[in-house]
Amino acid sequence: MTQKPPHKVALVGLGKIAKDQHVPSITKSAAFEVGAIVSRSATGQDVPVYETLDAMLTGEPDIKVVSLCVPPQVRFDMARQALSHKRDVLLEKPPGASVAEVHALERLARENGCVLYATWHSRHAMGVAGAKAWLASRKPVSARITWREDVRHWHPGQAWIWEAGGLGVFDPGINALSIMTEILPAPVHVSSADLTFPENRDTPIAAAIRFSGADGLTVDADFDWRQTGTQTWEIEVVTDQGTILLSGGGATVTIEGKEVSSDEALASEYDGIYAHFADLLASRTSDVDLTPLVHVADAFMLGKRLQTEAFFD
């Protein structure tokens, strides 16, 4: 059987996440290759580089796939433009700056016969599928999420994360929520939240959230961007038949104190994204799960605003 040629991808935005994750995963994939880049600063590339998405859409009619790696505040207009040109679109997480705008994109994709994929890279961490299977036959009683990291290390000089729509500490925190909503066998909802804002920023630097579910299930989430030294990305679920711990951002699984699998954080997560995207393109099916973003929106709606000292990079 003759193998289909790879999909050419227009990579929009060539910042840290695109260079560190998207480009390597596309390069390794037999289903994709970078066909063009949209960036105002990219130089020395082996493919055509365009300063604007409009120029790329006009200049590259044979590129049918667009991967948007730009900040969420500007992603909607670009996604709408690409879908209006009947291009299939991959959205980096979070899929948008609001829930409503992603619903609008979903409608537009459906009207134009396009594939729209709202990605959650942490769901592809090596331990997530096994944890989901283990929990499927058990009843969760309580859960604890601890997601603490150093914003200066992971987002140096990225002003957009502190601006309205940039999510602040929820930019990494939503990764934890994407895992939680994938592995828990029943849904939960936000019941209360405390959001801590630096006095000079529009988005929170820390958040404490309580989730509630059926049969008295509670989940407590602790997000903080001020941790130095060892970073903490953990989800612990206590069930009627034991306790499971995902650490390293979902890479390592420990059951009843015994480590059953281990990997490195982010290892193969974007490989998983592009493998799933290839399947969606083959079946002409969209995947737009907004549950993690809904939890963030609810935390902002229900959250008490607390103020802390100014934060500077």
Q: Which residues are catalytic?
A: 93
Is-contact 254 247, C-beta < 8 A? yes
List Cα–Cα distances, 249 to 83, 148, 149, 180, in angstroms: 32, 11, 11, 11
- Report the alpha-carbon distance of residue 190 to residue 210 in Å, rounded: 6
Structure tokens at 76: 């909607």
Dig out the tokens for 245 from the structure: 């711990």
Q: Do 43 and 18 contact (CB within 8 A), yes or no?
A: no
3-state secondary structure (DSSP) of residue 236? strand
- Sign, CA dihedral 61-64-70-75, equals positive
CA 304 remoteness from chain centre = 25
8: nearest Cα among 45, 35, 48, 47 = 35
DSSP letter (8 states) at residue 4: P
**Structure token pair of residue 293:** 């973003």
Report the alpha-carbon distance of residue 57 to residue 67 in Å, rounded: 13
Closest CA to 209 of 308, 304, 307: 304
